């Protein structure tokens, strides 16, 4: 994370602790979406420093098959709550959060719950944010629209 601070990059964390909520097809979908996200970030004028927490178990196996370890990113086997030196201005993006994300600056970092959930289970990422003591916010999407989006659409 020190390198990200020196380059003044936004930190974008993907919380991969939701494997037990997904079947094999959803895990592969998650890994593919993360791969597309990396491509988008890599060619962005304002790139993020990518971090993957709970990089273990089945999702690690699948991402290794897709050669994800060659990505320029930070990989942590630990759960998000166990990572030392998390950025101070950190928000967990959750479609179920009460508070709307209205503004952010160069010191803001984000967490996205790594969950491909075809059945749309409510409050999973919100509950995770609360359990980690991290403020949850939602994106300013049309309230009448579907609240769930793919990672590469963010």
Strands 74-75, 90-93: pairing kind? unpaired
Cα Rg for the chain, rounded, in angstroms?
Answer: 15
Q: Of 79, 98, 105, 117, which one is the catalytic site residue?
A: 117
H/E segment holding residue 75: strand 74-75
Query: Left (φ > 0), alpha (ψ -120 to 50) or beta: where does 129 sit?
Result: alpha
DSSP letter string, 7-59: TTPEEEEEE-TTGGG--HHHHHHHHHHHHHHHHHHHT-SSPEEEEEES--HHH
Active site residue 117: yes
Tell me the catalytic residues. Answer: 117
């Amino acid at each position: 994370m020190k390198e990200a601070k020196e380059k003044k990059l936004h930190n974008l964390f993907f919380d991969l602790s939701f494997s037990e909520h997904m079947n094999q097809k959803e895990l592969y979908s998650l890994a593919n979406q993360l791969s597309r996200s990396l491509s988008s970030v890599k060619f962005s004028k304002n790139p993020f420093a990518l971090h993957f927490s709970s990089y273990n178990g089945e999702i690690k196996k699948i991402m290794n098959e897709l050669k994800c370890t060659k990505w320029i990113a930070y990989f942590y086997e630990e759960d998000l709550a166990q990572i030392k030196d998390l950025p101070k201005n950190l928000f967990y993006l959750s479609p179920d959060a009460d508070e709307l994300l209205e503004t952010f600056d160069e010191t803001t970092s984000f967490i996205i719950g790594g969950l491909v959930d075809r059945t749309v289970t409510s409050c999973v990422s919100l509950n995770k944010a609360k359990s980690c003591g991290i403020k949850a916010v939602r994106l300013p999407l049309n309230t009448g629209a579907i609240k769930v989006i793919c990672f590469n659409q963010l």
